[in-house]
Structures are given as structure tokens and as C-alpha cells.
Amino acid sequence: MIAEELINYSIPPLKPNDHTQSAILWMEEMRVNQLPVIDGRNFVGFLSEDTILESNVISDEIHHYRLSGEGCRVKGDQHVYEVIRKTTEFDLPLVAVLDDEEQYQGVVTLEDAVRSLTGSSAFKATGGVIILSLKKIDYSLAEISRLVESNEAKILSLYTKDDDIDPHMMTVTMKLNISDLRHVIATLERFEYQIIAKFDERKHVSADKERLGLFLKYLDI
């Protein structure tokens, strides 16, 4: 799934000479608290509802206000993972999408980006989740896959994340195609991999939504 396939064309861009009263009305109608601002076809940033309301004036033109997230942009052919990474980096619910000539195409919402992932076969399939902590220098996808597959299991999806405290460490989150994780975990621990979390469907068959929420929270989505 790439960014241009997720563009939400119902969210209108603002222009520098638009009035903030119109911006507030559009935000209420679209149920968003940020709107993109473009000058011609050039993306210049996002205007937030808080910025407008804190000024105590709702009749000024947009160009009088401070914008944010000028760098919160992706190319249309970039993957949805990059869209989510940008929302995390800038702490914004929208990402601007540009074409190859750096011209504005539209925006993708974080909600739509996450929904596109949860609709993937990896999320829909039955299976458990294992989260590892390891040194970056020790990370080998080939080695981890070999150990998982030695237990007649497959990795459906895998995500890596830098450790928030130690820059030399990372976490690896794996969704497997099996529900009983005991043998895989035993193998990984035998090879000295540190398991910091597991979500085993043998005991939590009815907890799919809770697991997904915890998983996305762990990824800072």
C-alpha cells in the first residue's frame, strides 16, 4: 500500500488568503483539528485549530498564522510505513502527499494509514506475537527466520524499532502464523534472544482488539 492510494480527497487544502473562519468551519465539518495549507500547488504546512483559537481572532487570513509540520510530507509512491513514521515524527494526524515534482496531491490521515495495515492478511490471520530485545549489531532477519521456521512456523509480518533508552538496542516485533508460541520461544531463548513480550492466542482467543491496541501503542502509532 502506497501513499497516493490512501489520499483522502474530502479534506480540502487552505490557501494563504483564506480566512480562518472558513478554516474553522471546514475543520468542524471534516472532524479534524488540522488542515493543510498550499500556495499554488506548493505545500507550506499545516494550520491547527488550537493556533487559530489561541489568537482570539477568527477573521484574519491564513498567512498571518504560524504553520507547523512543513516537513511532514511523503512522495506518492512511498509505503504506508513511511506515512506512519512521519505522523510519529511530527506528532500530527495528517501527512501531505507530493508528486515527483514536489507538487501537492492531497493528504493521508493517520487513521486511514493504520486502517490499511489492519486490513492486511497479517493482521487478519490467526497467530501470536513475539517481541524481542537485542543489540542492533546482532540483528539478522535470516537467522531469526531460520529459528522460527525450524518450528514449522512462518513470520507473517515483522517490525523493528529503536530502543527509546539505549541507542545500541532495538526491538523486533513478529506476527507468526501459529497460536501456540511455546516451541518458538524456547528455541529463541536457547539461542539467547531476550523475549520481552508475547501475545499467545491459546489463552486470549477473544482478545484480538485489545492485543491490536497494545501492539500499535507499542509501535507509537
Write out the chain's pLDDT in tens, 221 residues.
799 999 999 999 999 999 998 999 999 998 899 999 999 999 999 999 999 988 877 668 999 999 999 999 999 999 888 998 899 899 999 999 999 999 999 999 999 988 887 766 666 677 889 999 999 999 999 999 999 999 999 999 888 889 888 999 999 999 999 989 999 999 999 999 999 999 875 554 444 555 556 666 656 54
Predicted confidence at residue 159, as pLDDT, reads 85
Are the C-beta atoms of residues 108 and 76 closer than 8 Å to each other?
Answer: no
Predicted confidence at residue 206, as pLDDT, reads 44
User: How many beta carbons lie within 10 A of that of residue 178, not counting itself?
Assistant: 20
Predicted confidence at residue 127, as pLDDT, reads 86
Are the C-beta atoms of residues 32 and 11 closer than 8 Å to each other?
Answer: yes
Predicted confidence at residue 134, as pLDDT, reads 95
- Which own/partner contact pairs does 113-121 have at CB distance under 8 Å and 24+ positions apart? 113/6, 113/80, 113/83, 113/84, 113/87, 114/84, 114/216, 114/221, 116/1, 116/6, 116/80, 117/1, 117/80, 117/84, 118/212, 120/1, 120/157, 121/156
Q: Cell numbers at residue 167, please?
A: 541507542
Are the C-beta atoms of residues 177 and 151 closer than 8 Å to each other?
Answer: no
Task: State if pTM tops 0.85.
Answer: no
Predicted confidence at residue 205, as pLDDT, reads 45
Calpha distance 121→159 (Å, rounded): 15
Calpha distance 43→69 (Å, rounded): 10
Sheet arrangement for strand 94-98: 73-75, 94-98, 104-109
Predicted confidence at residue 157, as pLDDT, reads 86
Domains and CATH numbers, the chain: 3-117 (3.10.580.10), 121-218 (3.30.70.260)
Q: What is the SS3 assignment for 127-154? A: CCEEEEEEEHHHCCHHHHHHHHHCCCCC
